[in-house]
Chains A and B, each alone.
Chain A
Amino acid sequence: MNPIPMPCVVPVREEGGVPPDDFALMEEVGHDRDGAFEVFVARYQRRLYRLAWGYLRHHEDALDAVQEALVKIYLARASYRPESHPYTWASRILANHCLDVLRRRRVRPAESLEAAQEAAPGRDLAAADPKENPERRGSRAEFRRRVEEAVATLPESQREVFVLRHFEDMTLAEIAAARGCALGTVKSSLHRAAAAVRDRLVRAGVRGDAALS
């Protein structure tokens, strides 16, 4: 398993603490309890950013989309019904918002990936250690590009399951609950996504241990 820790640091409220359960938290958000929405944002923002990035492939646009979707979520909090998981509800609002953005932009994701890379071609190299061997720096940049592309080009449902399992470390049962689908569906999406990512990296001759060590 990937050793990346859970990305969302949830601040703990002094009185009563953070509701451990997403449904309970959403109920508090619905009643506009003090600090509940801040916890909701902190809990979901990075997960939503990754979802938005998958659609838009543009850092600033993804951040804007997350913020605007969270504002919509806050304004629509009274309309939430606990038949669906709060993440499912929030992610649908965000996905619709991203589709609106794409509609306005008139650019499809596969095209915008190239555009984003063209917009910041030296990004990986700029972030690299200047003392690093140039050849090694180049291979790290290439590796990053491959990984980014491997995840970005997954179909939407597979990418979402892959991101939730691989980066968010959610269990398969949690993902099924969050996405409102059957466990078998999650397994099959994850299997396809993982196989696609692996094949892409292996085909490209990427040796993760070498590139990252």
Chain B
Amino acid sequence: MTTGDREMTCAEVRERLPLRYYAPPADGRGDPVGRHLRRCPACAEDWAATRRALAAVRAEDAFPRESEVDWDAFARDTAARARAAGRAVVPAAGRFRRWAAPAGLAAAAACLLVFVALRQTVRPSPDRAAFTPAPGMAGMLRQNVARQAAARSLREGRALLVYLMQAPVRCRRGDGTLDIALEKERSRDLLRRLAVHQGSLGGAEDGRIADLLGQMESLLLQVGTLEDCAGPHSLDELRAAIGRRQILLRIDLVTRDVEGGTSRA
């Protein structure tokens, strides 16, 4: 104790009792708390109450159903499940690797041949070439993949907004605020992904998707500015913004188009 030569007060001693239960001093010497407890009946009674209360906290009370478990069987079952999962993952990956490399090379070669053949046979007029840059087959595939990924993110963003418009969980502090901590975390993840999509959607056809991504970004940024325990009014503002933009409906329409492979965006 760092109280110098000064005697410790009862308050100082009682403050140290809980930790003393778990980390008692090595011996009685240099133990001002122990000396105080020997002299002060009130603190000694407090110390006895602390020991009684903490000693009474037993695992079977704190975790009442733990003793029902056959832990040896649980361990065996868990290890077996883990090994089965390991076997399911590794050989599959091995099989994939065995045929994926030659198949990938063959597909790339085929794409290259088609691309060369198209370039030799189809000569776009200078006007058309200036209006829409010919992306080639690989470029079209890439655009399609980017469009699908953007649509997925829009759907996830839509689900998040729908949840926020409905019934978020109330915060534990019981003051009527709503717990949106998880939704904020999710919106941060989505924002990172949206930035990637916006960089990969270059075609004129992707205008509607890009526009929705921009609006979604703005709404997610708004979610990010809210408190973890958000007041009902701040959520009302967000709901109003979602309603004004009719973004849920528009996302629905666009993602259906993309899923159907007929994006006319």
Contact = CB atoms under 8 A, between A and B. Distances in A.
A90 interface: no
Nearest to B58: A4
A87 interface: no
Interface string B111-150: 0000000000000000000000000000000000000000
B56 A194 contact: no
A211 B55 CA distance: 12
Interface in A180-209: 187, 190-191, 194-195, 197-198, 201-202, 206-209
A106 interface: yes
A96 to B, nearest CB: 12
Interface in B54-110: 54-59, 61-66, 68-69, 71-72, 74-79, 81-83, 85-86, 89
A136 interface: no
B52 A75 contact: no
Contacts of A163: 62
Given A41-B75, A74-B86, A212 B58 contact: yes
A166 B55 CA distance: 9
A209 B52 contact: yes
B78 A106 contact: no
A124 B82 contact: no
Given A50-B63, A108-B179, A187-B23, A166 B75 contact: no
Interface string B33-57: 0000000000000000110111111
Contacts of A195: 18
Contacts of A41: 75, 78-79, 82
Contact of A4 (B52, B59, B64): B59
Contacts of A152: 62
A132 B72 CA distance: 32
A202 B49 CA distance: 8
A49 B52 CA distance: 26
A201 B53 CA distance: 6
Contact of A124 (B52, B54, B64): B64
Interface in B1-45: 18-19, 21-23
Contacts of B23: 172, 187
A177 to B, nearest CB: 16
B182 interface: yes
Residue of A63, A191, A207 ringed by the most chain B CB atoms within 10 A? A191
Given A165-B22, A212-B56, A53 B79 contact: no
B169 interface: yes
B264 interface: no
Contacts of A187: 19, 23
Given A46-B71, A74-B82, A194 B58 contact: no
B22 A70 contact: no
Nearest to B24: A1
A41 B80 CA distance: 11
Contact of B85 (A59, A75, A150): A75
B140 to A, nearest CB: 37
Contacts of B182: 99, 103
Given A63-B74, A124-B64, A187-B23, A197 B53 contact: yes
B244 interface: no
Interface of A: 1-2, 4, 7-9, 37-38, 41-42, 45-46, 49-50, 53, 59, 63, 66-67, 70-71, 73-75, 99, 103, 106-108, 110, 123-124, 127, 143-144, 147-148, 150-152, 163, 165-167, 172, 187, 190-191, 194-195, 197-198, 201-202, 206-209, 211-212
Cβ-closest 4 pairs across A and B = A208-B56, A74-B82, A194-B18, A147-B61
Interface of B: 18-19, 21-23, 49-50, 52-59, 61-66, 68-69, 71-72, 74-79, 81-83, 85-86, 89, 169, 172, 179, 182
19 contacts: A8-B71, A38-B76, A41-B82, A45-B71, A63-B69, A67-B81, A106-B169, A110-B172, A143-B61, A144-B61, A147-B61, A187-B23, A195-B18, A198-B50, A198-B54, A202-B53, A206-B53, A209-B52, A209-B55
